[in-house]
Structure 1
Amino acid sequence: MQTQTLALAFLAATTVGGIAWVFLYPYLSGEKKAESRRASVARNEQSTTRGSERTQRSRREQVEGSLKELEARRQKDKKVPLGVRISQAGLEWSEQKFWMISGALGLFGFGAAFMVGGGLLGAAGIGFAMGLGAPRWLLGFLKKRREKAFLKALPDAVDVIVRGIKAGLPLFESLKAVVNDASEPLRSEFLAIIETQAIGMPLGEACARLYERMPLPEANFFGIVIAIQQKSGGNLSEALGNLSRVLRDRKKMAEKIQAMSMEAKASAAIIGSLPPIVMILVFLTTPDYIALLWTNSMGQLMLVGCALWMTCGVLVMKKMINFDF
């Protein structure tokens, strides 16, 4: 009897101890607090992850909005006015001066062609070509030459800005350093950015307007990088460093394309120059034979038609051998 009582007491004590171990030990040993801390850390990590995802999503939305805004502005400004084209060529002419020069060239071409016996129709065609074609060709030639000089100096200028930012200078001061050391036309374009920002325009928008004065993809890239960084933040030195590498790679690609297309360009130049060369040689050997082209009305009409067809052929060949990338 006493043995059974002792056994029951032992079992009861063991049961009470087990229950106490299960329910009280976590609180006494700190495991409950550790579990609560782990749960709290997990909740904090989850909230941090959600916050970073929201931040990344917001940044992507800002970048997409900036790109859409810039593209809408490019589409709006697709038709370039004459004054902007003159400034893109690096000239300080007014529109009135341009039209006066065009009119003077047209009158000179008409008078010279009529005096040498080109006839009224031929003289009118030459005067029209010199009055409207020659000034615009000059603007295009000066614009392309200016763009080539700008592209040649832009990667080095971006590297100067990157080094200035890494040294602790603000972006505005880095742009000033480029203005002090760069050559034309890059110096005048970056000076225009500084002057535009000085009158109150945000720096990102001032850099985005570089594309209006220098309509090049590389200038557009630079403006987009600065505009997006000003709106959404980020590591500007890293972004500009990547831009510098992209600009140099595009330059290498352009030079490679030019080297590969030189044979086609030489063939097009030979084909395009053969008719006028043959005409000059025939005129030198038998002038009376070819003089009918500008002394006879039918010959003048044929000469104008030949000039138009030759122009169309040269333009087609030019389109075939020019590669955009």
Structure 2
Amino acid sequence: MNTQTLALSFLAATTIGGLAWVFVYPLLSGEKQAESRRASIGKPEPAARQAEKTQRSRREQVEGTLKDLEARRQKEKRISLNVRLMQAGLASWSTQKFMTVSGILAAAAFVLAWVAGGGILGAAGLAFGAGFGLPRWGLSYLKNRREKNFLKALPDAVDVVVRGIKAGLPLFDSIKVVAADAPEPLKSEFNAIIETQAIGMPLGDACARLFERMPVPEANFFGIVIAIQQKSGGNLSEALGNLSKVLRDRKKMAEKIQAMSMEAKASASIIGSLPPIVMLLVYMSTPDYIALLWTHPTGQLMLVACVTWMSIGILVMKKMINFDF
């Protein structure tokens, strides 16, 4: 009886000890945690996590590129006269030549106003407008006309680049094709990209500098797409195809805005042209009555003030009817 009891007790104790060894000891000793750590080190990461890391890295590269471009634009916010001449398509003109032409225009306007009997004040005001305002207005007109011609041809040029890349041509050769067949000013701008890249500048940076010569958002989009693709890779044909669609949509939006604002532009043109037309009609009917404006000193002062206020009003109306998008 005692032997049986001792045997059962021994077996029970052995069973309990075995169970404790199997289930409790690994938790207390830390072997289970060590095995899980070793398994996690040796086990490869899931594909979804790797894709997420790759996407995060690409997003960081894109954000870094955009920040660099924005910082560069902020530094170059003040545009020099040489850059304005280049943007207007007058790259062959120097600053001295532009100043000389402005001075000649101012002197000619002063002499003509003095000979016509406009007085010293009227002649000085006309000389200032002809020497300072007229040349810069001409630069602005040439710049806007050049930008319109560039935007008209850019979507087709991007499509040519996309088709060349899909056909197996490198990006640089596709840009050469555009530079050979595109109309001006797109041809000269893409030739400038080729020349800049030929002297050692990376193609992404050369395309990013397009915005300096052609300050329109579409040129900035093209430079950003090329710069990001050169740094982080990706499907360039797909990215440029999307860019072409965006450019065409922006063109449609600009035409729609222009059509919707034509009524306001016509009203502003009529309001701005009424004072000169009335002045001309009064001069044709009674010239002695209105001649006091440029023969009498008080009239000259009033005429200069009227021209100043009319110019301010025209600029305000122009600002109100021009829509940025």
Aligned to 1:86: 85
Aligned to 1:172: 172
Aligned to 1:25: none
Aligned to 1:47: 46
Aligned to 2:74: 75
The amino acid of 2:217's aligned partner reads P
What is the alpha-carbon distance in structure 2 between the residues aligned to residue 50 and residue 321 of structure 1? 51
The amino acid of 2:239's aligned partner reads A
CA offset digits 1:195-252 (Å, max 9, x no partner): 0000000000000000000000000000000000000000000000000000000000
What is the alpha-carbon distance in structure 2 between the residues aligned to residue 229 and residue 303 of structure 1? 58
Q: Does 1:251 align with 2:251?
A: yes
Aligned to 2:303: 303
SS in 1 for 2:46: helix
The amino acid of 1:264's aligned partner reads A
Structure 2: which 5+ residue stretches go unaligned? 1-38
Aligned to 2:11: none
What is the alpha-carbon distance in structure 2 between the residues aligned to residue 214 and residue 147 of structure 1? 7
Aligned to 2:236: 236
Task: Quote how far apart the aligned CAs of 1:56 are.
Answer: 1.1
CA offset digits 1:55-87 (Å, max 9, x no partner): 111111100000000000000000111001001
SS in 2 for 1:323: coil
What is the alpha-carbon distance in structure 2 between the residues aligned to residue 201 and residue 221 of structure 1? 19
Aligned to 1:293: 293
SS in 2 for 1:228: helix
Aligned to 1:260: 260
The amino acid of 2:61's aligned partner reads Q
Q: CA RMSD for the aligned pairs?
A: 1.3
Aligned to 1:116: 116
Task: Quote how far apart the aligned CAs of 1:51 are.
Answer: 2.1
What is the alpha-carbon distance in structure 2 between the residues aligned to residue 227 and residue 200 of structure 1? 15
Task: Quote how far apart the aligned CAs of 1:50 are.
Answer: 2.5
What is the alpha-carbon distance in structure 1 between the residues aligned to residue 293 and residue 88 of structure 2? 38
What is the aligned residue count?
A: 285
SS in 2 for 1:93: coil
Q: Does 1:136 align with 2:140?
A: no
CA offset digits 1:261-306 (Å, max 9, x no partner): 1011000000000000000000000000000001100000000000
The amino acid of 2:85's aligned partner reads I
1:154-193 to structure 2, matched below 5 A, reads 154-193=154-193
Aligned to 2:62: 63
What is the alpha-carbon distance in structure 1 between the residues aligned to residue 190 and residue 127 of structure 2? 40
SS in 1 for 2:222: helix
What is the alpha-carbon distance in structure 1 between the residues aligned to residue 62 and residue 83 of structure 2? 29
The amino acid of 2:79's aligned partner reads V
Aligned to 1:273: 273
Structure 1: which 5+ residue stretches go unaligned? 1-38
What is the alpha-carbon distance in structure 2 between the residues aligned to residue 149 and residue 321 of structure 1? 22
The 10-residue stretch of structure 1 (53-62 or 268-277) with the greater mean CA deviation from structure 2: 53-62
What is the alpha-carbon distance in structure 1 between the residues aligned to residue 180 and residue 296 of structure 2? 62
The amino acid of 1:78's aligned partner reads K
The amino acid of 1:236's aligned partner reads L
